A and B are shown apart, each in its own frame.
Chain A
Amino acid sequence: MPSRIETKRVACLWVALLGLMITSAATAVTPEPVDGTAQPAGELMIDNFDPETGKRIIPNERCLTCHGDEEHRTDVRDDGSPVEIFVHSEQIEASVHGSQKCTSCHVTIDRVPHRKAPSVIVGCIECHRETWKEHKDDPDGKHERLEVVNEQIASYMQSVHARPNELDQSRTNATCYDCHAGHNVGELGSIQRAEHRLQNPEICGHCHEKELEDYRTSDHGKAVMEERDSEAAVCSDCHTTHEIASPETDKAKLQITKNCGDCHQEAQRTYFKSYHGQVHRLGYTDAAKCHDCHGGHLVKSEDDPTSEIHASNRLQNCRNCHEDANENFLSFWPHGDAHDRENYPGLWAFRVFMEILVFAVMAFFWVHVLLWLYRELMDRIQGKGFVEDLSQPDVVYFRRFPLVWRWIHFLFAIATMTLILTGTTLLFSHTAWAKAVVEFLGGIRMEGIIHRTAAVIWLGIFFTHLAIATTNIWRKRKTFEWFGSTSLVPNMKDFRDLRDMFKWFLGRGPRPQFSQWTYWQKFDYWAPFWGATVIGLSGLILFMPDKTSLILPGWTFNIANLVHAEEALLAAIFLNSVHFFNVHFRPERFPMSTAIFTGVIPIDEFKHDHRLQYERLLETGELEKHLVHRPSRRLSLAASFITTVLIMAGLTLLTLVLFGLVTLPS
């Protein structure tokens, strides 16, 4: 029984308690307004809370109560110092962030009025990355500009601005809103953009004060800051907007020079034609760059007496690099343009002469090559011409070249190829291959050393050959016939042979018969005499410019540079195409002749190619003296190997040169 009583009591207690809770809850929810306030019951009297999350919402209007008050643009910090707090609400609304809430960016602001001095902590990067990730596949393309923004973010992160500040490592050197007016970021082409350009120097100048001071006095600075010309160069045009590197680095120097050309295209074109520009375009900052001569932030026209390129300051300017520079330097044309007849007639004339020479020689010999190829192919089809009987190879050979000539040719070929490779990297500095070659060789200075070493060897061989040839002639001076059948001196027969070859090419006559040297062999022999003169002389001027410039006027360097390059180009193309065809690739010889390395040719080939000499030797009974056994298999293989390597190297060079020529920026 007691338990029963107990149960009743407990139940009563619970019912009473429940009733109490229900009534009090009911009165709490529906109070009776005694004063008739406007708001309906059940709604919060405060409206700045998210009903779902219970988080405070700070509407932009609330922020603008203080920050949009034009009459009170400044406030006082807790320490008493003044602070600009005004923001243009119209600007924000018109900007790309117009629909954002203030607190979307100013995430640390949680109370208004601010309980603590608010710190401006805004992180742009994450939001832009996330938004792009979310919307990059949207079909409406509304967010596509964010792709560029994200590229710029990536560049910025690599820049010097994104590195920790040396004096305060808790912050970066500069961040997004240091440069972008955070509240006034406009769309591409908008008025905010033009305004932003005009403000660019001032913005950068907040930190880079000295640079701004210099810039203000420059032609660029005057145009932007005084004439309000938003098209004139501002900081970011030269330094880039986001990739900014420290000005001491090669990266920055290369960027800046490249960027000068965005506006000064003509000056950059002529600069790249010069040695300074070629070195620069290969990726090296050793040679003079735009700002080295024109002054970086102080750039002014040459008429301005304070300009670094003004006539009275120019020599001092050259001496920044060329310490011993004398008056001769003043006649150098840093932007000498061989296509500008009016301003550089001398240079123009040399270019025209050299180009006519190159085109004439190449045109003539390529026609010669093509016709010859055509004739030999036609003869083969018709079963005519010289065909080596492979089933019965010659055992008797004719000695054409003594050992010394073979060595001289070998070294000459190696030196020439080295010179072509190292020299054309400058000429075709715009190509990726040139940059790779220079890097492979160990940089521009190492390349200079290699080129000069090869040049010394090349000229050394040339003069050695000259000495040996002169000695030989001197020894035989009593019997030597200058225009005889073994002489390399051109004679009338060569011209007749040339004429008859063309007749043969065209099927209008027999193939002419040649003596010891054919006319094309004589051309190959004499061409380097001309080449050695032109390339050698110009090369000597350029060999030690610091020394030669003390004696020679500056413009000789412009001309030397031009003719050195043009003549080298002629040699590179001629040797690796025409010479290769005449000696190796014409069907009678294909794939190669190793005569210059073995020194001998099969007697049948000698009979065919040098019929007159063969008959003359036969008549005088001297033939036996020149006959030798077939070279050993090992010597033949070695000669084939060397010839193959050189031919391949030559063809590679030809390809690189032709590629460089075709892709040469106009």
Chain B
Amino acid sequence: MEKMKNNDTLHKSARHVLLVMLAVLPAAVSAGPSGQAMAFTCAGCHGTDGSSVGPSMPAIAGMDPEVFVDAMKAYRQDERNSSIMNRIAKAYTDEQLKEMGWFFASQRLQLFPQQYDATLAARGAELHEEYCEKCHENGGRPGDAGTLAGQWMPYLHYTMEDFLDGNRKWPRKMKRKVDAAIEEAGDDAIPALVNFYGSQR
């Protein structure tokens, strides 16, 4: 009888714990998943914590959080050429995008060695210094103009094609600069720049 009583008490305390948890749970749910939790779903394409392993998938670890939010909002509003990002972006609120942005900004970008042409990369360095450095500062390292240094070269190629083909809207002044680089280096201009960025460590 005493044992029974004891068991009853245990059950009661366990029930109390559960009740408290149930009471707290809705509050936790309403706070929403953390940026980190939301970022888990990105790993499939963009690699763990945004360090992409795929050649055409941009690395987003360590990137400027406001650039991240800008890109996501552009996808959400179908203002940026995409395969599936426009559909994914629609799932997030502004606040969630900001949290995800800060999660990726807080990550270290893991770079994977890429094969590049050293001659073209050297030419690209000159072109970068002349036409790109003012916006893509420090050789294109993460900043308010995105991440170019160490970025996957195929991705850079596709993106430049998008710009040049009119599939993606040029940021202010960029067309002028790219045109000038092509004017100077001809068809080598884009490969040179892509090789330069790909050569970055």
Contact = CB atoms under 8 A, between A and B. Distances in A.
A518 to B, nearest CB: 102
Interface stretch (A38-46, A425-433, A458-466): A38-46
A25 B49 CA distance: 11
B159 to A, nearest CB: 17
A37 B201 contact: yes
A113 B108 contact: no
B134 A4 contact: no
B62 A46 contact: yes
Interface stretch (A28-36, A94-102, A356-364, A437-445): A28-36
B62 A113 contact: no
A114 interface: yes
Contacts of B109: 37, 45
Contacts of B144: 48, 56, 111-113
B181 to A, nearest CB: 15
A62 interface: yes
B111 interface: yes
Given A7-B14, A46-B105, A113-B144, A31 B137 contact: no
Nearest to A25: B36
Contact of B110 (A33, A62, A75): A33
Interface stretch (B86-94, B168-176, B185-193): B168-176
Nearest to A114: B172
B140 to A, nearest CB: 12
Contacts of A46: 62-65, 105, 142-143
A54 B61 CA distance: 17
A22 interface: no
B162 interface: no
Nearest to B21: A14
A35 B64 contact: no
A64 to B, nearest CB: 11
A566 to B, nearest CB: 78
Contacts of B15: 3, 7
Contacts of A76: 176
A78 B172 contact: yes
Contact of A56 (B66, B107, B171): B66
Interface residues of B, number: 42
Contact of B62 (A7, A44, A48): A44
A33 B15 CA distance: 46
Contacts, number: 90
Interface string B105-139: 11111111100000000000000000001110100
Given A35-B112, A35-B113, A113-B172, A7 B137 contact: no
Contacts of B143: 46, 48
Given A3-B11, A45-B62, A46-B64, A28 B49 contact: yes
A34 B61 CA distance: 14
B182 interface: no
Interface residues of A, number: 37
Given A25-B36, A46-B64, A48-B143, A31 B108 contact: yes
B46 interface: no
Interface string B1-40: 0000001000100110010010000000000000010001
Most buried by A among B14, B51, B63, B176: B14
A45 B142 contact: yes
Contacts of A54: 102
A66 B102 contact: no
A172 B116 CA distance: 58
B36 A28 contact: yes
A121 interface: no
A11 B13 CA distance: 13
B112 A34 contact: yes
Given A44-B106, A45-B62, A45-B142, A65 B134 contact: yes
A39 B171 contact: no
Interface in A82-131: 111-117
Nearest to B109: A45
Nearest to B143: A46
Contact of A34 (B107, B110, B145): B110
A7 B106 CA distance: 39
B199 to A, nearest CB: 13
A10 interface: yes
A218 B114 CA distance: 72
A306 to B, nearest CB: 51
Contacts of B113: 35
Given A35-B201, A45-B141, A7 B11 contact: yes
Contacts of B36: 24-25, 28
Contacts of A34: 110-112
B107 A31 contact: yes
Contacts of B108: 31, 33, 37, 39, 41, 45
Nearest to B36: A28
Contacts of B48: 31
A28 B50 CA distance: 11
26 contacts: A3-B11, A7-B18, A10-B18, A14-B21, A24-B40, A31-B51, A33-B110, A34-B110, A35-B113, A37-B111, A39-B108, A44-B106, A45-B61, A46-B62, A46-B65, A46-B105, A49-B65, A49-B105, A54-B102, A62-B137, A69-B134, A75-B173, A112-B144, A113-B145, A113-B172, A115-B172
Interface of A: 3-4, 7, 10-11, 14, 24-25, 28, 31, 33-35, 37, 39, 41, 44-46, 48-49, 54, 56, 62, 65-66, 69, 75-76, 78, 111-117
Interface of B: 7, 11, 14-15, 18, 21, 36, 40, 48-49, 51, 61-66, 70, 102, 105-113, 133-135, 137, 141-145, 171-173, 176, 201
Given A11-B14, A28-B49, A46-B62, 13 more contacts: A3-B14, A10-B18, A31-B49, A33-B108, A33-B110, A34-B111, A37-B201, A44-B62, A44-B105, A44-B106, A46-B63, A46-B142, A69-B134
